[in-house]
Structure 1
Amino acid sequence: MNGSTLLLAAIAAGVGVIGILLFRASPRLTFVVWALVLFFVPVWIGVNVGFFWSAITLLTLVAVLTNISDIRLNGIDLIMGVFTLMAATQFALKMTGLSATVIALLEWVLPYIWGRLVLSRVKRSFVTAVLATVVTVAAVLGLIEFATGTNIFVSLPAMGADLYASWGGLQVRADRLRVEGAWGHSIAMGAAFAMSSAFIVAARWPVAVRLVALGIVTAATVTTISRIGMLTLAFTVVLSVLLLPGLDRAMRWSVAALGVVAAIIIIPFVGEIFLEAGDEAGGSADYRSGLFSLVSQVQLFGSAGDWSGLTVGGEYLGAYAKSVDNAFLVFALRFGWIPSLLLIAALVFAAAYILRPGKASPPSIAVASQLPAIFAVALITQAGAYLWFLAGLAVAWAQQGRDADAADDQAALPSLFSMSRTKEDSVFASRR
């Protein structure tokens, strides 16, 4: 190792130490930087330390380590803990590969932990405002990308060559660029827009500002030309308007009116694109339905192994070796039925908070709206980390709400007791 390399390593280490100290001192700064990296730094940007760490994965680890706090664990945390133990055990027994285990622990479990911790250091309103702001900026850049046909993020250095080869290319449908921003794929970008829309609806901004932001995000989602993205955006907005507690009536009616106008404009535009796409769009749908031929390869525990050369029922499974657009099936192929069912259970329980009257939150609505999508898309690039972060955030949000209710009840008890004593004292005084 030459002198210049040592100098660069020393500078990088110094910057890292300063960053860690700043993150520990300022949880707000930590979350802002994390959100900016999530939305604006592609997964091929990172460092090689043993293996390649994407910037968002490395930053999530730093955020967890610098914001460790005491939290009250619950059943969903237990589910994630059991899955983590199973994944590690299966890897030790060589039942699961290194790549699958690293992805599970660093891109699923780690963001979940960050979501569980973040509200112990910053307020819910701050998290809401940051995510609403960042996604609006990302949507503006997406519209510029669609108008100019230029994605500025693909010109960033390919620090992770394999990841850049997988996600650095641009997609086109019906001769139109599909917007993907820094997310490496239009489906991932569409999912990010959809999940974040709940935070725009919930933000403490004037109604007009929220409507403009929501309109921008909706338009940008359409430019991804992702059917899943557009559908889950609609689910998220509808559930937000119907279920978010404390949402003012003006916002509810305004969003409903905006939805009608958007449908009138968007449906013909999208219909024309898919009509022009013809066989390409139809082939995409057929491919997803054909994935179920892989179910026969799933084990109770452990990886399905190498099925790339198999033919089942006349269908060649190798056609799906490079991509499986079904997150649940990916879970099952990598870890087996039992661990994958645990993962799905964690997401379902995180989403189930919307069923409690007055307890729905932006992250629980975001997760609930994505549940149908995980059977039609894979958790690619940052989308998986974002979904698991929101699952952890939904748990923390609900728990914080329960703690606040309990504190209010405890605070009310002395007041009631004091009131009764006051009345009692007044009775004695009148008898005198």
Structure 2
Amino acid sequence: MTGTSVDHLMIQVLGVVAAALLLIVLRRAPRASVVLWLAALCFIPIWIGIGVGFNGKLFLPAVSAVGLVVIAALVPAPRFHLVPADVFLIILLVLGIAGLFGANGSIAYATLITTVSYFAVGYLVGRLAALRVSLSWLSAAIAIVFSIVGAVAVVEFVTGFNPFVLIHASNGLYSAWGTIQERGGVSRAEAAFGHSIALGSSLALAIPFAIAAPFRLWLRLAMVAIMLAGCVVSFSRTAMLCAAIALLLSVFFSRDLSVKARTVTLSVLVVAAVAASPLVLSVFDDAGTEATGSADYRGDLLSLLGSMNPIGVADSAQRDSTGTLHFAHFVSIDSQLVLTGLTNGILALLLACIALVGALWVVVRGRATPATIAVVAQIPALATVALITQYSILLFAVAGIAASSQWLARTARISPAAEASATRVPTGPALPIPLKELS
């Protein structure tokens, strides 16, 4: 073995020892496990991680590495039952494995690694966390952490300083995400999320949890206002739209909001829109055709639908001499739904659409938990944005919370109904009274 190989091996051994010690501490503290993972998600950039495998060729982001330890700390979950969302993830993994045996196997392999290390790890963290801690506590934790994220984004916009990009790493992820974007000559807030859209969309995901958190109404509204402000300074139309939808769906379809809370929450949305509109309109006006150009580009992606295969990577996929992945002449696929079809096949795309329609139906019926509302509010983002950086991990974590919380809500509805049915006094025709009882 070379000296470099020995160094990588020693680092991995030390990492395993540290993970084992952390696991021992977290086994008896599920709440601490959740807080640790949320902190890693929100405050460690995606380009910080560890190399795994021989010579460390596979890169595991810090949030995913922490996620694996947290998953181990949260199992077993005594109330775990297989639900349709679990089946969807399993099928997605199976389709990813099947793609390895088709053309473009190397691209399918990279896609499978992302599916496992980002999507599956995030989903399992959310799925287990919602079973090991109360949903009200989980909502409160998410609300607090993302209120801090929103405040960091506002401070970044005001000061023009992002400390996270100063954390350098010699890898492709830092090259891709370690610079600050601009729109109309104005720096867009990114915090530790590496991209303004990832930041804004993540804040939008947290809004339903803030509304459902067990705090006083004024505090919940203050948290929502901070998250909305963070979305605004990301200058992402998609994020602002998802945030507005999340707020509206929470107001009209949440089961636990009073009339007063609904009215005040709507008022906050209106005030926020009025207050933010001059800044937003000014930036987009200065951006000129930049914003409309990006929208037209997303529309052009539909031309790739014909190159998709039933299973596996699309025929239009290719890598150039620099290793950059192209689909036809498109380098960036700004639609996760389209990207799913291109990398996993039409069957995976159809399953994703069915899952989203099912979640939307639960919301319309008025039986959605905050996590399900948060996922449904992301449908515009899934159509116009690829899942990138920590946003991809968070979305699947929220999907995992939605899967667990919907199952818990369903069992809570069924149990009282079954108990009432067992104790109900018969109301049918009266039985004839024996003659001996009349004597």
| Equivalent residue letter for 1:18 | L
Work out the CA distance in 2 between the residues paired with 1:83 and 1:7. Answer: 35
Work out the CA distance in 1 between the residues paired with 2:388 and 2:83. Answer: 28
- Is 1:354 matched with 2:354? no
Matches within 5 A, 1:284-299: 284-299=294-309
- Stretch deviating more after TM superposition (167-176 or 403-412): 403-412
Unaligned runs of 5+ in 2: 321-325, 428-436
- Is 1:158 matched with 2:134? no
| Equivalent residue letter for 1:109 | A
Give the TM-score normalised by structure 1. 0.89
- Is 1:206 matched with 2:213? no
- Of 227, 241, 251, the residue aligned with 2:261 is 251
| Cross-structure match for 1:194 | 204
Secondary structure of the residue that 2:377 maps to in structure 1? helix
Aligned-pair CA distance for 1:79:
2.5
| Equivalent residue letter for 1:228 | T
Matches within 5 A, 1:7-406: 11-50=14-53, 51-68=58-75, 69-70=77-78, 71-93=80-102, 96=105, 97-158=108-169, 161-305=171-315, 307=317, 319-321=329-331, 323-357=332-366, 359-406=367-414
> Is the contact between residue 46 and residue 61 of structure 2 (CA under 8 Å) also seen in structure 1?
yes
Work out the CA distance in 1 between the residues paired with 2:185 and 2:163. Answer: 19
Work out the CA distance in 2 between the residues paired with 1:177 and 1:34. Answer: 28
Output the aligned Cα RMSD.
Answer: 2.7
> Is the contact between residue 47 and residue 53 of structure 1 (CA under 8 Å) also seen in structure 2?
yes
- Stretch deviating more after TM superposition (24-33 or 131-140): 24-33
Give the TM-score normalised by structure 2. 0.87
Q: Do the aligned partners of residues 406 and 381 (structure 1) sit closer, same or farther apart at CA in structure 2, a change above 3 Å counting?
A: same
1:377-420 per-position Cα deviation (integer Å, ceiling 9, x unaligned)? 10111111111111121121111012222333344456557x99
Secondary structure of the residue that 2:47 maps to in structure 1? coil
Secondary structure of the residue that 2:27 maps to in structure 1? helix
1:237-283 per-position Cα deviation (integer Å, ceiling 9, x unaligned)? 00101111111222211111112212222223211111111022222
Aligned-pair CA distance for 1:7:
7.0
- Stretch deviating more after TM superposition (6-15 or 128-137): 6-15
Work out the CA distance in 1 between the residues paired with 2:99 and 2:246. Answer: 36
Work out the CA distance in 2 between the residues paired with 1:431 and 1:17. Answer: 78
- Stretch deviating more after TM superposition (218-227 or 80-89): 80-89
- Stretch deviating more after TM superposition (282-291 or 217-226): 282-291
Aligned length: 415
Aligned-pair CA distance for 1:80:
2.2
1:329-387 per-position Cα deviation (integer Å, ceiling 9, x unaligned)? 11111111012222332333234321223x22111111111112211110111111111
> Is the contact between residue 350 and residue 394 of structure 1 (CA under 8 Å) also seen in structure 2?
no
> Is the contact between residue 60 and residue 111 of structure 1 (CA under 8 Å) also seen in structure 2?
yes
| Cross-structure match for 1:408 | 416
